[in-house]
Homo-oligomer: A and B are copies of this chain.
Amino acid sequence: MLVGIGPGSVEHMTLRARAAIAEADVVIGYVTYIKLVADLVEGKRIVRKSMTEELDRAVQALEEAQAGHKVALISSGDAGVYGMAGPTYEVLFQAGWTPEHPVEVEVIPGASAINACAARVGAPLTHDFCSISLSDLLTPWPVIARRLDAAAAADFVVALYNPKSGRRTQQIVQAQRLFLRHRRPDTPVAIVKSAYRRRERIEFTTLAQMCEADIGMLSTVLIGNSNTTIQHGRMVTPRGYANKYDVADGGSTREGEKPGRSLSTGLSGWYQDLHERHAQGASAAALSQLHKLPLDYIEAVLAEPLQEELTLSAASQDE
């Protein structure tokens, strides 16, 4: 049982996560996570591992399960997000495991650090977001850098996991540098350490000042998108309502927009607009620049006749 224990407070564990630990004969995990569930593991055989022994934990879990013991292999947050689920499946497959094997495998989802930290600061994740780990222990730096640059350019809200450690101090500086290529220096940033735990600490800052903040191994860094704001101590990313609904007017729809139907700049509206501009003389290259979309994509869209179903759906679309 690959158990995501959530942020580390008993209240924020799921019933299934608690039940899985209660059912287990053996509980294996990084020593800090074992402490977080100390009350639940009393009387059980406990195997405490260090941070870099992830494969060891997975191998031992398999051995114990093969010996007939029920094993809870615990991760903070969600086991599938930078947790034990991936490494364990890799070990299982390498050992020749298949679903027909006597050892059963269950992944138990939990709220990841991104969800827990977001809940503590307001509603920063409302819209599309990315999760990027700054740990280059296992991933080449160029891969990480390309992801940071892409996420910043496409205006995602971004959560940085493993942002900094005693020795790994420069990756966060590089991340800031890449973000500043696309984002305003005053972009809101929240740094949350130990969400829902005794030593919880929340700091609001900006992209420009991010590197001066207190960031450590237990921190998650949340970088807002271009619409995110911090007001009254709450970091909030709008869902796009300001494009369509006048929140000040009690939610009445803006002129030209229809509730329940795609925004006029939704796919159908955008298709029509693109074809019209092109018909009026705008080149594919100019349109590619205007929308910051690849030229070949724009050309492919222009080459398609406006499909009947697209125009029909513009007229009658609703969710």
A interface residues with partner B (beta carbon < 8 Å): 4, 6-7, 10-16, 18-19, 51-52, 54-56, 59, 78-83, 85-91, 93-94, 97-99, 107-112, 115-116, 118-120, 122-133, 135-147, 149-151, 153-156, 165-171, 174, 177-178, 181, 217, 231-234, 236-241, 243-245, 247-248, 250-251, 259-263, 265-270, 291-294, 296-297, 300, 307, 309-310, 313, 316-319
Contacts and interface: CB of A to CB of B under 8 A. Distances in A.
Most B Cβ at <10 Å: residue of A54, A126, A128, A151 = A128
A56 to B, nearest CB: 7
Contacts of A135: 319
Contacts of A166: 319
A266 B169 CA distance: 12
Nearest to A145: B293
A145 B300 CA distance: 14
A33 to B, nearest CB: 16
Contacts of A174: 267
A138 B177 contact: no
Chain A at the B interface: SS class: mixed
| Copies held by the complex | 2
A236 B81 contact: no
A69 to B, nearest CB: 21
Contacts of A97: 232
A218 B217 CA distance: 36
Given A149-B293, A263-B138, A126 B245 contact: no
A319 B51 contact: yes
B147 A154 contact: yes
Contacts of A150: 150-151, 153-154, 156
Interface centre among A137, A297, A300, by most chain B C-beta atoms within 10 angstroms, is A137
A297 B51 contact: no
Q: Which of A51, A138, A296 has the most CB of B within 10 A?
A: A138
Contacts of A145: 291, 293, 297
Given A14-B6, A109-B7, A266 B155 contact: no
Given A15-B13, A90-B241, A167-B318, A297 B263 contact: no
Contacts of A244: 137-138
A89 B167 CA distance: 38
B154 A82 contact: no
A133 B127 CA distance: 8
A232 B237 CA distance: 40
Contacts of A88: 123
A281 B265 CA distance: 48
A262 B89 contact: no
A92 to B, nearest CB: 9
A302 B238 CA distance: 38
A141 B301 CA distance: 13
